[in-house]
Amino acid sequence: MKTTSDISAVGFRKRHREGDDIVVHTLDRLGRTVRDTLILIHDLADRGIGAKNLADPIRVDSSNPDDPMSQLAVVMLALFGQMERTYAIERAAHARAVTTAKGRRVGRPSVVNPSKLAYDEHLRNEDHTIAQIVEKTGITRTTLYRHPPRPPQPITAEDQWNSQAEIRQA
């Protein structure tokens, strides 16, 4: 199991029997939110399955559902896990915004050569079909559609006025 979404899957719940203990590194690995974690812990407890954590500062053993300290620890650790996940998402969004504001590209680097895209644009202007462009450039059809040609720059009245003024002066 690699993700927390796998943990809440039906197969996960069917694999364990009464008396089993699920051991996790930290309690927040059982669910993405406090609600998900508590629902899973209660569902497992109803079936006689416990959950134990290894790395959290508060040891949790949910195999005894009548222990109020264990219930409190589960809620607190799930809350801290959800809070940390929320902060991590906010930090990542802030880092992306700062990087974008600095004019740098965010995300995976492009593998398409800009000269090939320029050649693609040239071929499109000469009315070649997409199949012909794929054959000549080696760029896949999907990538060609992902990188449409740039639209021509609109000419404003000011641009026309300036170009006519240059002609009059010459």
Joined together, the tokens standing for residue 91 give 């930090």
Q: By the 8 A CB rule, do 51 and 21 touch?
A: yes
Share of the chain above pLDDT 90, in %: 15
Per-residue model confidence as pLDDT tens digits over 106-138: 888 777 888 888 898 899 888 899 999 999 988
User: CB count, 10 Å around CB of 146?
Assistant: 11
d(CA 12, CA 140): 40
> Does 36 have pLDDT greater than 70?
yes
Instruction: State the DSSP string of 41-96.
Output: HHHHHHTT-EEEESSSSS--BTT-TT-HHHHHHHHHHHHHHHHHHHHHHHHHHHHH
Mean pLDDT confidence for 83-98: 94
Does the pLDDT of residue 149 top 60, yes or no? yes
Report how far Cα 50 is from the mean position of its chain's Cα atoms: 31
Task: Give how far the C-alpha of residue 16 lies from the chain's centroid of Cα atoms, to the nearest Å.
Answer: 31
| 7 has pLDDT over 60 | no
